[in-house]
Amino acid sequence: MKKLINDPQNVVAESVEGFALAHADLVTMHTDPLFVARAGGAVAGKVGLVSGGGSGHEPLHAGFVGDGMLDAAVPGAMFTSPTPDAIAPALAVADSGAGVLAIVKNYTGDVLNFETAAELAEADDITVRTVIVNDDVAVEDSLYTAGRRGVAGTVAVEKIAGAAAARGDDLDAVTAVAQKVIDNVRSMGVALTACTVPHAGKPSFDLPDDEIEIGIGIHGEPGRHRIPLAPADEITRMLLDPVAEDLGLTSGEQVLLFVNGMGGTPQSELFVVYRQARKLLEQRGVVVARSLVGNYVTSLEMQGASVTVLRLDDELTALWDAPVTTPALHW
């Protein structure tokens, strides 16, 4: 194992410290417990947004803390949910009196720990709502979930809900728009290689050089099937078709097309995937109105990609376009 680390047990703390130093104009690092919040504290009268999960998926979630997105993010250990005693203070810091929305990916540990943290926060008179992101169409259940996994669609949920909060929507309205995104976003991914968790010191699963895993999760969970390596256009079709069919896309609809890298795939290859995914959507008569390509929800150094499609309407498009200033997303 070759990694730019010191002690494997300190990777998350040292990484978050460096991240906070590099983006001190946008975020503040809290220690004991560890979480990241927007610099300057909660915005008076605005609904707070908090998310979090295991580390190793950077820039998710801390990279999306800032104006127009999250107010706080809670990183757990590598591929491990943060604990309630870290999540609850983040909920408190994000609250300015208008309540807090917790955006949680559908992994059992995340769901249970955020639920416990919400109960602790509510005991301190903080109103908390929760939405569960479950956009992965690959499998219904996995090693980590009951139901579908939450993957790259989380970025769209955080961006659009964050914009709704920034424009002054109340907690019920922000929760409703977040759920609207969840109801209209689907994803599917592929792994070309495994990744190595620092404290494990070896690849998280075995994948021969001439094979790929279709439908992989962001922790290396099994997908739909393992197949011989194929050309990019063929792989892209295997990802896009199930997503489009699950959404029930029809001719004339507008969508956001998001091609996400798993951490070890060059940008040039992600654009090869985007090119084919867009062609396949256009063949269905679907209009790609917005696009995003890059490494936003990663799995350490895994080579691979995911395709996410969000059905858009005028409201969701306007909220996606709204200004955002975070370390990882800004326009």
* pLDDT by 10s per residue, the chain, length 331: 799 999 999 999 999 999 999 999 999 999 999 999 999 999 999 999 999 999 999 999 999 999 999 999 999 999 999 999 999 999 999 999 999 999 999 999 999 999 999 999 999 999 999 999 999 999 766 555 578 999 999 999 999 999 999 999 999 999 999 999 999 999 999 999 988 888 887 877 788 889 999 998 888 777 778 999 999 999 999 999 999 999 999 999 999 999 999 999 999 999 999 999 999 999 999 999 999 999 999 999 999 999 999 999 999 999 999 999 999 999 9
Radius of gyration of the chain (CA): 19
Q: Give the model's pLDDT for residue 221.
A: 75
H or E stretch at 329: none
Distance in angstroms (rounded) separating the CA atoms of residues 111 and 132:
8
Distance in angstroms (rounded) separating the CA atoms of residues 234 and 240:
10
Q: Give the model's pLDDT for residue 140.
A: 62
Distance in angstroms (rounded) separating the CA atoms of residues 105 and 215:
17
Distance in angstroms (rounded) separating the CA atoms of residues 218 and 222:
10
Catalytic residue among 199, 219, 225, 330: 219
Q: Are 169 and 175 in contact (CB under 8 A)?
A: no
Phi-psi region of 48 (alpha: psi -120 to 50; beta: other; left: phi over 0): beta
Annotated active-site residue 330? The verdict is no
DSSP alpha helices (H): ranges in 124-205?
153-166, 171-183
Distance in angstroms (rounded) separating the CA atoms of residues 292 and 183:
19
Angle at 128 between CA 20 and CA 82, to 5 degrees: 45
Q: Are 32 and 23 in contact (CB under 8 A)?
A: no
Catalytic residue among 23, 57, 61, 225: 57
Q: Are 158 and 70 in contact (CB under 8 A)?
A: yes
Q: Give the model's pLDDT for residue 145.
A: 59
Annotated active-site residue 225? The verdict is no
